[in-house]
Amino acid sequence: MIFLNITGHTVEKLVDPFGLLSGDRYEFFLEIEVEEDDELYSDKGLGIRVLYVVDENGPRTSNYHLYERGSDKILDFELEEDEELLVFNYCKENIEP
Protein backbone atom coordinates (compact mmCIF):
# COMPACT_ATOMS: atom_id res chain seq x y z
CA MET A 1 0.00 0.00 0.00
CA ILE A 2 1.29 3.44 -0.83
CA PHE A 3 0.80 6.36 1.49
CA LEU A 4 -1.61 8.53 -0.50
CA ASN A 5 -2.39 12.09 0.50
CA ILE A 6 -4.69 14.16 -1.73
CA THR A 7 -3.54 17.78 -1.47
CA GLY A 8 -5.82 19.48 -3.99
CA HIS A 9 -7.77 19.11 -7.19
CA THR A 10 -9.39 20.66 -10.19
CA VAL A 11 -12.69 19.38 -11.52
CA GLU A 12 -14.71 19.96 -14.63
CA LYS A 13 -18.22 18.76 -15.44
CA LEU A 14 -18.06 17.12 -18.85
CA VAL A 15 -20.70 17.95 -21.43
CA ASP A 16 -22.23 15.26 -23.62
CA PRO A 17 -23.09 17.32 -26.72
CA PHE A 18 -25.20 14.54 -28.26
CA GLY A 19 -27.03 13.46 -25.09
CA LEU A 20 -26.01 9.83 -25.54
CA LEU A 21 -24.77 9.26 -22.00
CA SER A 22 -27.03 9.18 -18.98
CA GLY A 23 -26.18 11.05 -15.81
CA ASP A 24 -23.36 13.48 -15.14
CA ARG A 25 -19.64 12.99 -15.69
CA TYR A 26 -16.84 14.84 -13.98
CA GLU A 27 -13.14 14.86 -14.75
CA PHE A 28 -11.00 15.27 -11.64
CA PHE A 29 -7.30 16.00 -11.60
CA LEU A 30 -6.17 15.13 -8.08
CA GLU A 31 -2.84 16.35 -6.75
CA ILE A 32 -1.29 13.71 -4.53
CA GLU A 33 1.75 13.22 -2.36
CA VAL A 34 3.53 9.98 -1.59
CA GLU A 35 6.46 9.32 0.70
CA GLU A 36 9.92 9.94 -0.77
CA ASP A 37 10.91 6.28 -0.43
CA ASP A 38 7.86 5.13 -2.44
CA GLU A 39 8.55 3.79 -5.94
CA LEU A 40 6.00 6.27 -7.32
CA TYR A 41 7.76 9.32 -5.87
CA SER A 42 8.70 12.08 -8.32
CA ASP A 43 10.23 15.50 -7.66
CA LYS A 44 7.73 16.89 -10.18
CA GLY A 45 4.78 15.63 -8.17
CA LEU A 46 2.04 13.14 -8.92
CA GLY A 47 -1.57 13.29 -9.95
CA ILE A 48 -4.54 11.07 -10.59
CA ARG A 49 -6.94 11.74 -13.44
CA VAL A 50 -10.35 10.39 -12.46
CA LEU A 51 -13.54 10.06 -14.47
CA TYR A 52 -16.36 10.19 -11.91
CA VAL A 53 -19.92 9.34 -12.95
CA VAL A 54 -23.25 10.04 -11.26
CA ASP A 55 -26.18 8.33 -12.97
CA GLU A 56 -29.26 6.22 -12.22
CA ASN A 57 -26.98 3.54 -10.74
CA GLY A 58 -25.49 6.03 -8.27
CA PRO A 59 -22.02 7.56 -8.11
CA ARG A 60 -18.93 5.62 -9.20
CA THR A 61 -15.40 6.01 -10.43
CA SER A 62 -15.47 5.02 -14.09
CA ASN A 63 -11.70 4.98 -14.58
CA TYR A 64 -8.49 6.63 -13.44
CA HIS A 65 -4.79 6.79 -14.15
CA LEU A 66 -1.80 8.07 -12.25
CA TYR A 67 0.54 10.53 -13.94
CA GLU A 68 3.65 12.57 -13.26
CA ARG A 69 2.75 16.23 -13.01
CA GLY A 70 4.73 18.53 -15.27
CA SER A 71 5.43 15.87 -17.87
CA ASP A 72 1.94 14.29 -17.80
CA LYS A 73 3.68 10.92 -18.22
CA ILE A 74 1.18 8.16 -17.41
CA LEU A 75 2.42 5.74 -14.76
CA ASP A 76 1.62 2.05 -15.01
CA PHE A 77 0.35 1.57 -11.46
CA GLU A 78 -3.01 0.72 -9.99
CA LEU A 79 -4.38 1.86 -6.68
CA GLU A 80 -5.22 -0.64 -3.98
CA GLU A 81 -8.84 -1.09 -2.96
CA ASP A 82 -8.61 1.21 0.08
CA GLU A 83 -6.90 3.88 -2.03
CA GLU A 84 -9.62 3.62 -4.69
CA LEU A 85 -12.19 4.12 -1.93
CA LEU A 86 -10.29 7.18 -0.69
CA VAL A 87 -10.32 8.65 -4.23
CA PHE A 88 -14.01 7.82 -4.70
CA ASN A 89 -14.98 9.46 -1.40
CA TYR A 90 -12.85 12.52 -2.15
CA CYS A 91 -14.54 12.99 -5.53
CA LYS A 92 -17.99 12.42 -4.04
CA GLU A 93 -17.37 15.10 -1.42
CA ASN A 94 -16.02 17.62 -3.94
CA ILE A 95 -18.65 17.82 -6.66
CA GLU A 96 -21.14 20.64 -6.61
CA PRO A 97 -24.67 19.43 -5.81
**CA-to-CA separations, 29 to 22, 32, 66, 83, in angstroms, rounded:** 22, 10, 10, 15
Hey, where are the domains in the chain?
5-93
Instruction: Give the per-residue pLDDT at 2.
Output: 52
Amino acid identity at 17? P
Q: Among 51, 41, 44, 52, which Cα is nearest to 72's?
A: 44
Q: What is the pLDDT of residues 23-79, one digit of tens each?
A: 999 999 999 998 888 787 788 899 999 999 999 999 999 999 999 998 999 999 899
Q: Is residue 17 over pLDDT 90?
A: no
